[in-house]
Structure 1
Amino acid sequence: MRHTWRWFGPVDRVSVQDAAQAGAQGVVSALHHIPTGDVWPVDEIGKRQEEVRAGGLEWEVVESVPVSECIKTQTGPWREHIANWQETLRRLSSAGIRTVCYNFMPVLDWTRTDLRWTARHGAKAMRFDRIDFAAFDIHLLERPGAHEDYDASTREETERRFREMPEERRLALSRNIGAGLPGSADGYSLPQLRDHLRSYDGISREKLQRHLVEFLTEVTPVAERVGINICAHPDDPPWALLGLPRILSNAEDYAHMLREVDSPANGVTFCTGSLGALAANDLPGMVRRFASRIHFVHLRNVLREEERTPCSFYEDEHLEGNTDMVAVIAELLREEQLRRAAGRADHRIPMRPDHGQEILDDLSRGAQPGYPAIGRLKGLAELRGIERALSHGTYGLAAAAT
C-alpha cells in the first residue's frame, strides 16, 4: 500500500517533515479555508503542493472536497455547487492528483462527545458516549421529537446523567459535537445546528440516497474523463444521529451506491474505524466484496464498550479494539496483487493511519484532536509491520499459498 499522512496545512502542529520522518510516503490534505461549494482556485492548489513539497513529500490524496448541504438537500444553489465540484476535479487532475475523498453525512460529519478522553496508560483518545450524546440531543439541543428516538432505559439514564452533569461538561459537549470537519472553519452553535436540522425536514433516508446517486451521476463522468478516483467515506458513527438519516453505514449501503453508479471511478474510502463501530459489519468480508472499488483506506481501531447499536466506543490503539487489522490488511494486499496482475495503474492503494491516541510529547503539543504526531507514528509503524510480514517472500501470503 501507499503510506500517506493527513496534513491540515500550515496551521497543523505536525509538520510535513514530521510525517516524512514517521515513514509517510505521501500527504493527504485539503483546502479547508475555501468556502464549501466554491471552486478551488488553481493558485491555492499549487500553493498547497509547494507547501507539501517543502517538507519533502507530495500531495497525493485530497480529503476532502466538501459536498455542500445544498447538494445533499437539493436546495438553494445546489446545481452551481455540483458544477463547482466538477471544475475542482478538473483542476486537481491538472495538478496531478488522482484520488479525491468526500462524505455525504448530513449536517454533522464525524461525531464524538469527547475529543481528549483519558484512555489506558494516560493516553488521550476520542470517544463517543451514547448517554452523553442523548443528553446533548434531548436536554441541550432540545430537538423536537428527540425523546421518541431513545428507548425508555436510555432516557432514564440520560435524565440522571444530565442532572449530575456540571456546566463545564455541558459546554464541552456542545463544542465537541458541533465542531465540524477536522481542519475546517465550520462549526455550529446550538441555534445554527437547529437551523441546519430544520433544513432536512421531509428528507427521508431513501430521498438522501437518491440525492447521493444523482450527485454521483453528475460528477462521476467528469472524474472518469480526468482520471480521478472519487471515494465516499462511511458515516461516522454508522447510525442515525439527531433524527438525520445516514446512508453509508454498512455493506448494503455501499452496494447500492456502487450499483447505481457503476463506474470504476466511483468507489469507496474504506475506514475501519467508522465501519468498525457497527458490530454487524464484517470488515474483512467487506474488503473482499468491494475490493476493486476501494480507492483509499483509513486504518484505525475502535473498542465498542457495549454490545448494542448505537453503542459507546472509543478510539483504541491501531492493533487493539474490535477490528482484526491483520485480516483487513491481508485482504487489501490480495487485491493489490490482483491489480498488479491486471496492469491497473492504481494497483497501490493509498492508506493512512487514521487518528491515533495522544501519547508522550503529543500530550503537550496541542495538535488537531485525533491527529497527533507520535500516536500516528506508532500506528503507522505497527501497520507497516503487518504489511511487511504479510508481504514477505518466504513467510508471507504468497509463500503460504504455494
Structure 2
Amino acid sequence: MKMTFRWYGENNDSISLSQIKQIPGVEGIVWALHDIPVGEVWPLEEILKVKEQAERYQLNIDVVESVNIHEDIKLGLPSRDRYIENYKTTIANLAKVGVKVICYNFMPVFDWTRTELYKEMADGSTALFYEKAKAESMDPEELVQTIVNNPEFTMPGWEPERLSQLSTLFSAYKRVDEEALWAHLKYFLEQIIPVAELHDIKMAIHPDDPPWSIFGLPRIITSKENVERLLRLVDSPYNNVTLCSGSLGANPANDIADMIRSFPDRIPFAHIRNIKIYENGDFIETSHRTRDGSLDIYGIVKAYHDIGFQGYVRPDHGRHIWNEKCRPGYGLYDRALGVMYLLGIWDALERGVNKR
C-alpha cells in the first residue's frame, strides 16, 4: 500500500509540500492542474513544474486527480471528439513524467454534492454535511452558491465556466438517461483505454458522490453491480475504479470490503474515509476512526491487506479541527491523523496482531 496525500498546488492550497513531507509514511502527492479549463490539453511545461516541486521533497507524482471530463463527452455531442483527442494528448504528456494512475469521474454537471461545507459537530470541529431533505428540495442554483461561495479556495469539480451555463446543461441532460450516459462512457473508454495501455497509465473512475441521482440527473457508478458493468465496458487492466469508501459507503447497501475482495486487480487507487449515516438519510464526514462513523474502516483496510494491495491510497475528506483555515474537507490536521490511523491498522495487520 502506497500512501499519498492530495495537494492542490502552489498558491492554491493552505498546505505546503514541506508539511506533507513531515507526515510519516506519505510517499507522494495526488495532484492536478486546476487552472487548465476542462477539456483543454495539459501543457507539458506546466506538468514538469509540479514534478520539480514535488521532487524537492522526495515526493512522487504518480497519481493525478482529476483530469476532468468535458461535459460534451458526457452529453455525447459531436464536439466530444475534439475533447477526447485533447484528453489523449494529456495522457501522453503525463506519461512523460511517470504518472501511473489517472482518476476521473463521469458525474453530470455536479461533482461531489454537499448541502453544508462547515457543519459543526458535537466536539466543536466542522465537516462536510449532506442533508437529504434539503438536497431533494433545494434549487440547483442554491446548491451552486453554497459550494462556490468560498472565495479563498477553488472547488475542484465545480468549474465556474460550467456552472455559469447551468440552465443550458440541465436542458441538455433532459435527453440523457442512465443508459445514454452508459453509452457515452463506453464511447469515451473505447477511445481512451488503448492510449492508456500504450502509455502504461491506469484509468480509474471515481464513484458518484453521493451514489444516487441529484436533481434528476443520471448517475451510474453507484454500486458493485455498476462497477462490474463499468469494467466490462472495455475489458482491459487499464480500465479501473478508484474505490472511494465514503462515496459508495453513503448507501448502506454497498459493502465496501466485499467490493475490494471482488475487484482485487482493478483498484489501482483508493480513497478511504468515514461517514456517519443517520436514519433519515443525512450523512456527515467524521474522523477516519471506525467507531466515529458508520463504516468499518478497520474491515476496509483489512480487505486491502487480504488481497495484497500494492496500489495507491490516500486519506479522503477530513474534519476541520484546531481552528484550521482550509479548503472544505482538505485540511492538514485531520487528514494527517487519518494517515496515521490507516497506517496503524496496516502495521498491525502486517505483524499479525489481529490473529492473537
TM-score (norm 1): 0.83
Per-residue CA shift, 1:241-270, capped at 9, x if unaligned? 011000000011111010121100110100
The corresponding residue for 1:155 is none
The aligned counterpart of 1:219 is: 192
| Alignment match, 1:12 | 13
Amino acid of the structure 2 residue aligned with 1:348: Q
Give 2:303's aligned amino acid: E
8 A Cα contact 1:15 1:55, kept in partner: no
User: What is the letter of the counterpart of residue 36 of structure 1?
Assistant: V
Decide whether aligned partners of structure 1 residues 183 and 296 sit closer, same or farther in structure 2, where only a CA change above 3 A counts: same
Q: Where does residue 270 of structure 1 map in the other structure?
A: 243
Larger displacement relative to structure 2 (238-247 or 283-292): 283-292
Instruction: Report the counterpart of residue 302 of structure 1 in structure 2.
Output: 275
Q: Which structure 2 residues correspond to residues 87-102 of structure 1 after superposition, within 5 A?
A: 87-102=89-104
SS at match of 1:391: helix
Q: Which amino acid aligns with 1:53?
A: E
Cα distance change on mapping 1:329 and 1:221 into 2, 3 Å: same
Q: 1:391 aligns with which of 323, 331, 350?
A: 350
In 1, the alpha carbon distance for the partners of 2:164 and 2:82 equals 27
Instruction: Kindly state the Cα deviation for residue 136 of structure 1 after the two structures are TM-superposed.
Output: 1.5
2:130 counterpart residue number:
128
Deviation at 1:76, TM superposition (A): 4.9
**CA 1:17/1:348 → structure 2, altered by over 3 Å: closer, same or farther?**
same
Contact 2:111 2:157 in 1 (8 A): no
Give me the whole-angstrom Cα distance separating, in 1, the residues matched to 2:212 and 2:176: 16
Name the count of aligned residue pairs. 349
Match of 1:50 among 32, 45, 52: 52
Which residue does 2:215 correspond to in 1?
242
Q: State whether residues 118 and 124 of structure 1, in contact with CA within 8 Å, keep that contact through their aligned partners in structure 2.
A: yes
For 1:15-26, list aligned pairs within 5 A: 15-23=16-24, 24-26=26-28
Give yes or no for contact 2:274–2:286 (8 Å, CA) kept in 1: yes
* Structure 1, unaligned runs of 5 or more: 142-169, 337-346
Shift of 1:187: 3.4
Map 1:64-103 to 2 at 5 A: 64-103=66-105
Per-residue CA distance 1:10-55 (angstroms, 9 max, x = gap):
1211111111112221100000111111111110110111122234
Q: Which residue of 2 aligns with 1:382?
A: 341
Cα separation, partners in 2 of 1:224 and 1:174, compared to 1, 3 Å: closer
- Gap change, CA 1:104 and 1:184, over 3 Å in 2: closer
Label 1:18 to 1:77 Cα distance change in 2 as closer, same or farther (>3 A). Answer: same
Deviation at 1:196, TM superposition (A): 1.6
SS, match of residue 165 in structure 2: helix
Could you tell me which residue of structure 2 aligns to residue 149 of structure 1? Answer: none
2:256 alignment counterpart: 283
Aligned to 1:370: 329
Name the structure 2 match of 1:210: 183
- Deviation at 1:185? 7.0
Give distance in 2, aligned partners of 1:3 and 1:232.
19
- Structure 1 residue 326, shift from structure 2 partner: 1.2
> SS state of the match for residue 25, structure 1?
strand
> Which secondary structure state, in structure 2, belongs to the residue aligned with residue 239 of structure 1?
coil
1:182: how far off? 3.2
Deviation of 1:179 after TM superposition, in Å, equals 7.1
Corresponding residue for 2:166? Answer: 193
Q: Is the 8 A contact 1:234 1:269 kept in 2?
A: yes
CA shift at 1:191, angstroms? 6.4
| Residue 232 (structure 1) aligned with residue 194 (structure 2) | no
Shift of 1:109: 0.2
CA change 1:272–1:266 in 2 (3 A) is same
- What are the Cα deviations for residues 289-341 of structure 1, in whole angstroms up to 9, with x where unaligned? 1111011000001111125xxx21110111231111111111111222xxxxx
Choose from 313, 317, 320 the match for 1:355: 317
- CA separation of 1:27/1:194 partners in 2, compared to 1, >3 Å: closer, same or farther? same
Q: Which amino acid letter does the alignment assign opposite residue 321 of structure 1? A: G
Report how far residue 197 of structure 1 moved: 1.1
- Larger helix percent: 1
Match for residue 37 of structure 1? 39
Structure 1 CA distance, aligned partners of 2:39 and 2:128? 29
Q: What SS is found at the alignment partner of 1:85?
A: helix
Q: Tell whether 2:230 aligns with 1:257.
A: yes
Q: Percent identity?
A: 38
Two-structure CA RMSD over aligned residues (Å): 2.0
Instruction: Tell me whether 1:313 sits opposite 2:314 in the alignment.
Output: no
Match of 1:162 in 2: none
1:22 match: secondary structure:
coil
Contact 1:39 1:84 (C-alpha < 8 Å) held by counterparts: yes
Distance 2:99 2:162 in 1: 35
Distance, in Å, in 2 between the alignment partners of 1:175 and 1:287 is 36
Deviation at 1:355, TM superposition (A): 0.8
CA displacement 1:67-112 (0-9 Å, x = unmatched): 1101101115210111111111111111111111000000000011
